[in-house]
Amino acid sequence: MRRIFFLLAVLAGGCAPPQAFDTSPGHISQPQPTQPAWPAQPAQPAHSAFDNWLTAFRQDAAAQGISAATLDAALTGITPVERVVELDRRQPEFLLTFSDYLRARVTASRVARGQELMAEHAALLDAVEQQYGVPKAVLVAFWGLETNYGSTLGSHNIPASLATLAFDGRRSDFFRSQLLDALRIIDAGHVNAIDMNGSWAGAMGHMQFMPSTFRAYAVDGDGDARIDLWQSVPDALHSGANYLKRAGWRTGEPVAIEVRLPEGFDWRRASIANRLPVAEWTARGVLAADGTALPVVAGPAGIVLPQGWQGPAFMVFDNFGVVMQWNRSVNYALAVAQLAQQVAGGDGLSVQSGEAGALSTAQLQALQQALNGLGFDAGEADGLPGPRTQMAIRQYQFMHRLPVDGYPAPSLLAHVEQTHAAAAAAGRLAPAPTFADPATDSGE
């Protein structure tokens, strides 16, 4: 479990691009291509090429046991969906601060509606919690964040969307396998092809499962011998809880809690990969945000600063890694924790501060280019705040005696650009210094 946590939780910062691709259970976030995978002027009409591809795909699907009736119902007459291709290629223009992300998702109306549904489905949620060990408020938080409690299930026909993405050439193998699984779901009688709707990238139902996730984790919660994630709330909630349990959910432990850091805290230690026993964090002066003692938790915990050292701080636990298997975004995982806390009657954040404003994609590219020019390896200047960029930021901050939080703040961009301009003018662009990683350096 710990190994999975480290592999998935590489993005410890909270400055995230808007969702250009669904990151529901089973999803793998995709980098944007530099060149369109579908030629702007194909050698033959796009629909003709697609028809040829679809004919070959149908033959392969039939050879894998999918019935002719299902193939006819799901694939007859479909054509490439240009809107799906457009969404798949969309480049994000701006990053989001954690506060903006949270403000848009953990709203008063969403909290209130979650509380109403907690009461309405109390018996069901109690049974699900008892069976799977997932707190009802946490499950309701996923439900609220994924589809606003079933009010936005998506209107794209899943077979048509997945066929478009499988043909388009960007991660074709992934979407081809998802299309095959979608057809198997139809073939099993869980849903009719015409009713299999969802997001443009293939996520479906109240909990936005991808087809492969549906087949691996979806369960019949209402006992009618079908799994209907669109119309059956019991099926949806049981399936969501089953996914979390099988992903390693630890009953009785939190996802994340807001904490108060002591004066003189070594910001280098605020890294999702730097996980220590809770007792050690207590010994270092870390308290819960309200000043009380930290919870007693068996596993190690890390500290994340989703909006830099001036913003809120969170202690994250093993269940945080489980949530990030559902959606590989630090901001999303923290939003789950916050929405669950408030749905259960708890307070919101005690710290609302943090540096205002977020970098645009172009500004982050400029930051990456400047860091690379100064000898700090930020990787490709792609405008995405990946782990290499964050490490380069930390190295730069360490060298210049700034708070080492790895956060791409607007003030950091100004500092880096000024340093780069001065170094270029003087002809002394320098290599990066050795950086003390708190995960291996005791700091004592």
State the total domains in the chain.
Answer: 1
Query: Could you tell me the CA-to-CA distances from 269 to 89, 356, 403, 436 in Å, in that order?
Result: 37, 23, 11, 10
User: pLDDT tens digits, residue range 30-73?
Assistant: 323 333 334 444 455 557 899 999 999 999 999 999 999 999 99
**Rounded to 5, what percent of the chain is helix, strand, coil?**
50, 5, 45
Instruction: Check pLDDT > 70 for residue 146.
Output: yes
The confidence score (pLDDT) of residue 362 equals 94
The rounded percent of the chain whose pLDDT value lies above 70 is: 86
**Whole-number mean pLDDT of the chain?**
88
* Residue 73 pLDDT: 98
Residue 368 belongs to a domain: yes
pLDDT tens-digit readout, 238-285: 999 999 999 999 999 999 999 999 999 999 999 989 999 999 999 999
Please name which of 337, 301, 332 lies closest in space to residue 318, comparing C-alpha atoms: 301
pLDDT in tens, 79-101: 999 999 999 988 677 778 999 99
Q: How far apart (Å, rounded) are the C-alpha atoms in residues 17 and 101?
A: 10
Give the per-residue pLDDT at 438. 54
Residue 108, SS3 per DSSP: helix
Would 176 be classed as within a structural domain? Answer: no
**Residue 252 domain flag:** no
pLDDT level of residue 430 (50, 70, 90 thresholds): low
Look up the domain containing 369 and give its range.
Answer: 361-426
Asked whether the CA dihedral 349, 354, 356, 359 is positive or negative, the reply is negative
Q: Tell me, yes or no, whether 237 lies in a domain.
A: no
Please list the residues that pair with 316 across neighbouring strands.
256, 302
Residue 394 lies in a domain: yes
- Tens digits of residue pLDDT in 403-429: 999 999 999 999 999 999 999 888 877
pLDDT at 96: 86
Torsions phi, psi for 41 (to 5 deg): -130, 80
Residue 399, pLDDT > 70, answer yes
Q: How far apart are CA 52 and CA 21, in angstroms?
A: 27
Give the mean model confidence (pLDDT) for residues 219-231: 97
pLDDT at 435: 57
Three-state helix/strand/coil letters over 62-98 = HHCCCCHHHHHHHHCCCCCCHHHHHHHHCCCCECECH
* CA–CA distance, 327 with 383 (Å, rounded to integer): 20
Q: Per the domain annotation, does 401 fall within a domain?
A: yes
> Residue 113's closest CA among 152, 153, 140?
140
We report the CATH number of the domain holding residue 379 as 1.10.101
Q: What is the pLDDT of residues 335-360, one digit of tens each?
A: 999 999 999 999 999 887 788 888 99
DSSP for 364-427?
HHHHHHHHHHTT----S--S---HHHHHHHHHHHHHTT--------HHHHHHHHHHHHHHHHHT
Q: What is the 3-state secondary structure (H, E, C) of 260-312?
A: ECCCCCCHHHCCCCCCECHHHHHHCCCEECCCCCCCCCCCCEEEECECECCCC
Whether 154 shows a pLDDT value over 90: the answer reads yes
Q: Is residue 203 part of a domain?
A: no
In-domain check, residue 209: no
Q: Give the C-alpha distances (Å, rounded to integers) separating 297 from 254, 303, 385.
A: 9, 14, 31
**Within a 10 A sphere around the Cβ of 425, how many other Cβ atoms?**
8
Report the alpha-carbon distance of residue 382 to residue 394 in Å, rounded.
18
Q: Is the dihedral of CA 239, 242, 243, 244 positive or negative?
A: positive
- The encoded tokens of residue 210 equal 């991808």
Closest of 133, 32, 35 to residue 92, by C-alpha? 32
pTM of the prediction?
A: 0.86
